[in-house]
Amino acid sequence: MHRIMIVDDDGFVTLQLNKLLTSIGYDVVGVADSGKEAVELARDVRPDLILMDIVLQGEPDGIGAAKEIMTELDIPVIFITGYTETEFFDRAKQAKPFGYLLKPFRIIQLKASIDIALEKRDLETRLRMSEQKYRRISEELQKEITERNSVYGALRESEKTLRQMSTHLIRAQEKERKRVALELHDELGQALSLLKLKIGSVIKALPQDQTELKNECKGMSSYIVQMVENVRRLSRDLSPRIIEDLGLSSALRWLAESSARHMDIEPLFEMDDIDSLLSPEAQITLYRIFQEAITNMVKYAKATRIWISARKGEIKNILTFIVKDNGVGFDLEHFVGHISTEKGLGLATMNERANMLGGSFEISSQKGIGTTITISVPIEGSSNS
Ligand SMILES: Nc1ncnc2c1ncn2[C@@H]1O[C@H](COP(=O)(O)OP(=O)(O)O)[C@@H](O)[C@H]1O
Ligand SMILES: [Mg+2]
């Protein structure tokens, strides 16, 4: 049963209303005859609805009391007015009452006004609740988005760290290779050459009839020549001085030709004049990529043709390198996502090296058709990174 409070300074009106309300099933839980008393009573009994006379003596009047009650206690108020009190209407409207009840009262109008007010209140409450619910949901979403962003941020950070580490590793490896190559060439190479000279003088010093010993020494000498050649090759593989001496284009030619010889094929070249566009470090990095790509061809491709190209691209300031074979190809799917762990590190390191140059690495392969590797790098000095 809904609990209703009545505020009116006319005892006859309150009595009449009280009767009417009770007769149509409402519970009258309080009656006040001034604005002040109305506010206090409403605080005490917390009715579901208040019927409030607009015109009341004292402060606050009906309108003031209604405003106070609706904002402080959130209880809906219906104003009671007579036709004569039109001058109050403007102020009354501002108080945003839940309805108006005209004197003299008619039972139908009374019930309708009250039901509408209560319904409106109910709707408002439900609206407020769903608003709160959606606000909460949107706050949670917002929170989730923020969290997710920070996770992505952390991921990006660690990806960056990893990339820096791998760049660092690749550089350190390059430095170490260079050191070992020099050591091999200078120390071991020299020592072997010296040894060969010494054996030469032993041969000379040996008496004519010591043919067996002489032949033994000659055998040793040519073995040393072979060793020197091996040491040179090792040293060259480790640190391709040819790049420093002749530049990347020639180094690539030499690399492809000497490797293709193992496969008994002639590589096809398309080379622009690119050496001056790349720093020595970039040239070494590119050389390493080619070295890996060509080694893979020799190891796996069973190709009858290979193409090597280095072009100043159509797109300005980009160099494009392509290594292509018509060999057996392989299933790239197999490598997506787990490049670097499943099989060798070759593909992953090529990718990493291209990244070091601010460039991109692409590989496409089709079984029975062949494999193509494309590396694009920005020309130094024009780089927009
Ligand atoms: N040119 C190619 N032709 C055919 N298969 C290739 C070629 N290049 C790479 N592959 C395949 O991709 C695999 C991964 O290569 P890579 O990452 O260099 O590792 P690894 O050479 O140590 O096996 C190779 O094992 C081979 O199966
Ligand atoms: Mg490999």
Ligand 1 pocket residue status of 346, Cβ below 6 Å: yes
Ligand 1 pocket residue status of 351, Cβ below 6 Å: no
Give me the residue label for tokens 């409106």.
120
- Ligand 1 atom closest to the Cα of residue 373 is 1
CATH homologous superfamily of 240-385: Histidine kinase-like ATPase, C-terminal domain (3.30.565.10)
- CA of 296 relative to ligand 1 center, distance in Å: 5
pLDDT in tens, 305-322: 999 999 987 767 899 999
Instruction: Determine the residue of 290, 324, 330 to mutate for testing ligand 1's pocket, defined as the one with the most ligand atoms within 8 A of the Cβ atom.
Output: 330
Ligand 1 pocket residue status of 344, Cβ below 6 Å: yes
- Ligand 1 atom closest to the Cα of residue 329 is 4
- The pLDDT of residue 148 is 93
Q: How far is 192 from 160, CA to CA, in rounded Å? A: 46
- CA of 173 relative to ligand 2 center, distance in Å: 17
Type of residue numbered 350: M
Q: Which CATH architecture has domain 3-105?
A: 3-Layer(aba) Sandwich (3.40)
Q: Residue 224's Cα: distance from chain center in Å?
A: 58
Spell out the residues 6+ positions from residue 173 whose beta carbon is closer than 8 angstroms to its own: none
Below-70 pLDDT ranges, the chain: 83, 85, 315, 335-344, 381-385
Compute CA distances 11 → 7, 8, 17, 280, 336, whole Å. 10, 7, 10, 105, 89
Task: Assess contact for 121 and 99: CB atoms under 8 A.
Answer: no
pLDDT in tens, 150-207: 999 999 999 999 889 988 998 899 899 989 988 888 899 899 999 999 999 999 999 9
Q: How far is 272 from 265, CA to CA, in rounded Å? A: 22
Spell out the residues 6+ positions from residue 340 whose beta carbon is closer than 8 angstroms to its own: 347, 348
Q: Residue 369's Cα: distance from chain center in Å?
A: 36
Q: How far is 253 from 34, CA to CA, in rounded Å? A: 106
Instruction: Determine the residue of 295, 296, 338 to mutate for testing ligand 1's pocket, defined as the one with the most ligand atoms within 8 A of the Cβ atom.
Output: 296
Ligand 1 pocket residue status of 97, Cβ below 6 Å: no
- The pLDDT of residue 357 is 93
Spell out the residues 6+ positions from residue 326 whose beta carbon is closer than 8 angstroms to its own: 303, 304, 305, 306, 369, 370
Residues making up the chain, counted from first to last: 385
Q: How far is 264 from 66, CA to CA, in rounded Å? A: 102
Which of 159, 181, 178, 177 has its CA nearest to residue 352?
159
Task: Show me where the domains of the chain are located.
Answer: 3-105, 240-385
Q: How far is 67 from 91, CA to CA, in rounded Å? A: 11
Ligand 1 pocket residue status of 334, Cβ below 6 Å: no
Instruction: Determine the residue of 300, 331, 336, 362 to mutate for testing ligand 1's pocket, defined as the one with the most ligand atoms within 8 A of the Cβ atom.
Output: 300
Ligand 1 pocket residue status of 343, Cβ below 6 Å: yes
Which of 274, 268, 269 has its CA nearest to residue 247?
274
Q: How far is 371 from 129, CA to CA, in rounded Å? A: 63
